[in-house]
Amino acid sequence: MPTAQPLRTGDPRTLGPYALAGRLGEGGQGVVYLGTRDDDTYAVKLLHGPVGDERAAFLREVELAKHVARFCTAQVVDAGFDEGRAYIVSEYVDGPSLAREVMLTGPRRGGALERLAVGTATAIAAIHRAGIVHRDFKPQNVLLGSDGPRVIDFGLARALDAAATVSGRGVGTPAYMAPEQITASAVTGAADVFSWGATMCFAANGAAPFGQDSVAPVLHRILTAPPELGLLDGQLRVLVAACLDKDARNRPSSRDLLLALLGDSGGLPDSVLRSPPAHVLSASGVAVPAPRTDISGPEGPEGPGPTGGSVARSRPLAEPEATGAASGYRLPATPDAPAPSGGGRRAARRAGVAVVGALVVSVAILGMLLGPALSGDDRMPQGGGAAGPGATAATVSPVEEATPPEDEGRRGPGEPDPPVAKPARVPVPPLAGLSRAAAVRALQRAGLVAGQVSLVDSGRKIGLVLGSRPGAGVDVEKGAVVSLRVSAGVPVPSLAGMGREAAEAAVAGAGLAVGPVMRKCGPEPDGRVLSTSPEAGSRVAGGTPVALTVSRRGVEVPSVIGRSREDAAGTLRGAGFEVTVQGQVVADESQVNLAIAQSLEAGGCARKGAAVVVTVGLAPQSGPDPSEPTGKPTGKPADKPTAAPGARAKP
């Protein structure tokens, strides 16, 4: 799984056509991001500072770096500029650096150390073959992928150093620098060989050969002191010591270093190296006669020599065919071999000589026709080859003589050898868009094995397969392991404390949608994000809406509707507000003496001490309005009594 950390405030969300999903690391030269484009994953390094006048040189170095062999390096695929700062796009290697792995799991030993040495030396040789000097080879620039070590950051030293110098972050790693880099002498591929030796010391011992303390003492020891080789032993110790020679002229070239690591034949004679393995001979079931070195005579197997005398020659035990497979080896004809059926030995020999003669003539004609076209190519024999002067029948082993007698009835002269059985191959099925479980089942149906699963930040649905390695349609051997890249979703960014506009931009930049915005009263300034839903760090599919809770400065106004007059006033005063109560006649007797309205909206925010008017329901009057007369005017003297209040008037 990519060990990417969330993007920080101020990090770009895109660089050119590459969407950035997280941080992979940061060093003196720049920040490395996990980038995606068309569902492919890349490592994108954004340099800390501008490259200045080195811009043209930077682009040239990038073009050179693209041509370095890919089998042991993280291939550079693209580069560009963002607001004057250069970025470099390379193949993403899902694995830790050698520096981190040694610090976590300890030094390398035995075969693991030797594989690391061969893989990294091969990378340096490939880089030098492309005309590039790495200039900064160190454990941090060796990534341990699932398919072996990969070397990164090669060939870009001038631009990277310029960016690091401008940013004031320092250049290089002193513990792995060659003496000529310290003294500002001419830097060649020998400097990379020195750095390789120092890196192998670190891999074997967990420490650099000249220490890793303060810069000045380390540089002094590189120039004057012998290296500490520690636990290195055997041939590797001898090679590393040669690579750490302080005089660049005494170090092996990267090619010689690689050949020395691979070893030689150990002094074995050529006749042994040309012979097939013993298990091939034992599998044939045919007794092999001892090599003859004393055959003579004009009609011996070797024929007459150039002076007419006998020639003593030694034949290899077997002659390998082009395939090199066990079934492709055939025993050469000897005088002791059984004579072909239907004729004597002399007749068979004459027939063989005739066939050989025809072959010699054919080869000579082809040589004359193709010689000018080949123009000196080494595909035709030079000097006295099969068609050259002095060639005899004994110098060619025709198919008729090499074929055992028991095969004559099944395969005629000139027929090709039977095909060699090859392992069955099947195409990798298309897996993108399937769930992880469905992809594993598809691989099993194809006769393949599901390998490592890498979780990748992606806007696709969580658990969805993004791709495979090898990719869909690639022919592989049956039973091969296929690794999967699976979507891990998109992490919700941390937005707490950001302004609303900045938070909404960050949500959109992460490939998510802005959800509902809710406000919460508090002492924070207006518009600050307090929390999100889903929470920060949660992984969701791309496009998922993220709800924001935003601050609004002030005190939340409580709702008092439906409470009694005393309770409503007490609640508002307890929240810090000034309360005024007014009455209003209501037709509904159930609302009498209860709060039916408040001047500040409940749930809103208001400053502490603000005035709130509470409206309380009043009962309607049960008698006549005192301002109106109690009876009809009659115009009669006032001494006539009137009806008592509440009495029914007579008609």
Vertex 248, ends 247 and 252: CA angle to 5°?
115
Please, what's the b/e burial string for 96-112 (b: 16 or more CB within 10 A of its CB; e: otherwise)?
bbbbbbbeeeebbeeee
- Helix (H) or strand (E) holding 551, with range, is strand 545-553
- Identity of residue 275: S
Vertex 202, ends 199 and 206: CA angle to 5°?
160
Q: Give, rounded to a whole angstrom, the gap between the first and last alpha carbons of the chain.
A: 102
Please, what's the b/e burial string for 528-561 (b: 16 or more CB within 10 A of its CB; e: otherwise)?
bbbebebeeeeebbbebebebbbbbebbbbbebe
What the block records as the tokens of 373 is: 């076209």
Q: Which residues contact 184 (CB under 8 A, 6 or more apart)?
A: none
Cα distance between residue 203 and residue 201, in whole Å: 5
**Residue 38 annotated among the catalytic residues of the structure:** no
- Identity of residue 599: S
Burial class of residue 390 (count of CB atoms within 10 Å of its CB; 0-12, 13-18, 19+): exposed
Catalytic residue, chosen from 136, 153, 161, 192, is 136
- Identity of residue 510: A
Contact 197, 244 (CB under 8 A): yes
CA distances from residue 364 to 377, 388, 413 in whole angstroms, order as listed: 16, 8, 21
Cα distance between residue 136 and residue 181, in whole Å: 10
Q: Which residues contact 254 (CB under 8 A, 6 or more apart)?
A: 121, 124, 125, 127, 128, 189, 192, 193, 196
Catalytic residues: 136
